[in-house]
Amino acid sequence: MPIEIKELHIKATVESGSGRSESRNSGRDRDLKKMKAEIIKECVEEVFTILKEKEER
């Protein structure tokens, strides 16, 4: 015979860890910021190159 569950209560406690995940995330954030800065720098250089070529024409 099947059992029907009409109500289910789940209780959980979330605690911050030993800080390892936070330090990994902050390192990852620094890497992402560095990569974004490099991409922006390359894009700006490319735009300046294109503008310079157009001025020479």
Express each pLDDT in 26-55 by its tens digit: 888 899 999 999 999 999 999 999 999 888
Residue 2 has pLDDT above 70, yes or no: yes
Q: At residue 53, what are phi and psi to the nearest 5 degrees?
A: -65, -40
pLDDT at position 23, please? 62
pLDDT at position 18, please? 60
- Stronger pLDDT, 1 or 32, i.e. the higher one: 32
Please report the DSSP string for 1-57 in residue order. -----------------SSHHHHHHHHHHHHHHHHHHHHHHHHHHHHHHHHHHHHH-
